[in-house]
Homo-oligomer: A and B are copies of this chain.
Amino acid sequence: MSSLRTRNNRVVALCGGVGGAKLAYGLARILRSDLTVIVNTGDDFEHLGLMISPDIDTVIYTLGRRADRERGWGRTGESWRFMEALDELGGETWFRLGDLDLAMHVLRTRDRQAGRSLTAITTEIAERFGIAATILPVSDHPVRTIVETPDGDLPFQRYFVEQRCIPRVTGVRLECAANTDTTAQVRRAFGAPGLRGVVICPSNPYLSIDPILAVPGMLALLKVTMVPIVAVSPIIGGAAVKGPTTKIMKELELPATQHSIFQHYAGLIDGLVIDEADRAERGLTGVAVKVTRTLMEDEVDREQLAHDVLQFIDEIAGEAKAP
């Protein structure tokens, strides 16, 4: 098993925003260039003429050690002079763009308008920030997460930021053009030799992971892979660490339990990592379950959870090979 692990060390992680990025950070600490993070782009939107990719930026800032930990989003040491001047000019201020963060959006918008792909731009920025892992948008085609509410559809950022997740969610869907596809780089991450496992990070399953899975071609990549796919549950003791996961579960009439998370990913995953607080739920049938601390309060937590997840992957791989 150990020699196998030496050869097969590449891991693919599917990731949304803040919570998922924390685990991606832990994985990156251990795996370095053997990690590929495939990031949700359903949150992407155009605002003030700028092309903004919130989840990609969160992953870049987190892995590049530039994420703000107290605020929970955006860059550390951020300032807000641009927003002050924008407000004075009567511009829209519901989506806060920091002075440092703006550099990312301005450069990306320029490069996109010059015809460069989001993948190429993301790769270059990650390199600039000294990130050894590969960060990939799930698609270079524009895809848009739409949140369905009783009062009609809301583009993701309108729901998430402007309306602070207050509207009741009746459904979530991904809008994409007919020719939308995963990228060659995403397909290569699954297809190239040395793959050890796939991790679904503890991002919001409905708002962050489902949009990744909804990109045409993505589910097929997961279905055909021979390596273990494990998800880390975003639920701890019936609540989410951050964000509207359990609020949405309630609105969708799903109990905020590990069983609901398992059912959501059923048929796709080989293992589910749940928190110690939910030890009583460990007896899920049809999937391997790992009980560990999933709350990531500091860097040690992130790396420990990443370590546990990798061990879990190897355990599942080992069992599959057992007679």
Contacts and interface: CB of A to CB of B under 8 A. Distances in A.
Given A48-B110, A75-B85, A86-B106, 9 more contacts: A49-B109, A79-B81, A79-B99, A81-B81, A82-B103, A86-B103, A86-B107, A91-B106, A99-B99
A100 interface: yes
A85 B109 contact: no
B103 A85 contact: yes
A70 interface: no
Secondary structure of the A side of the interface?
helix
Nearest to A109: B49
A50 B107 CA distance: 10
A205 B81 CA distance: 35
Contact of A85 (B85, B88, B101): B101
Contacts of A106: 48-50, 82, 86, 91
A89 interface: yes
A90 interface: yes
Interface in A27-75: 48-50, 75
A98 B75 CA distance: 18
A51 to B, nearest CB: 10
Interface of A: 48-50, 75, 79, 81-82, 84-86, 88-91, 98-104, 106-107, 109-110, 113, 124-125, 128
Contacts of A107: 48, 86, 89, 91
Given A81-B81, A82-B82, A89 B103 contact: yes
A99 B128 contact: no
A99 B113 contact: no
A85 B113 contact: no
23 contacts: A48-B107, A48-B110, A49-B109, A50-B106, A75-B85, A79-B99, A81-B81, A81-B98, A81-B99, A81-B100, A82-B99, A82-B102, A82-B106, A85-B101, A85-B104, A86-B103, A88-B103, A89-B107, A89-B125, A90-B124, A91-B107, A99-B99, A99-B102
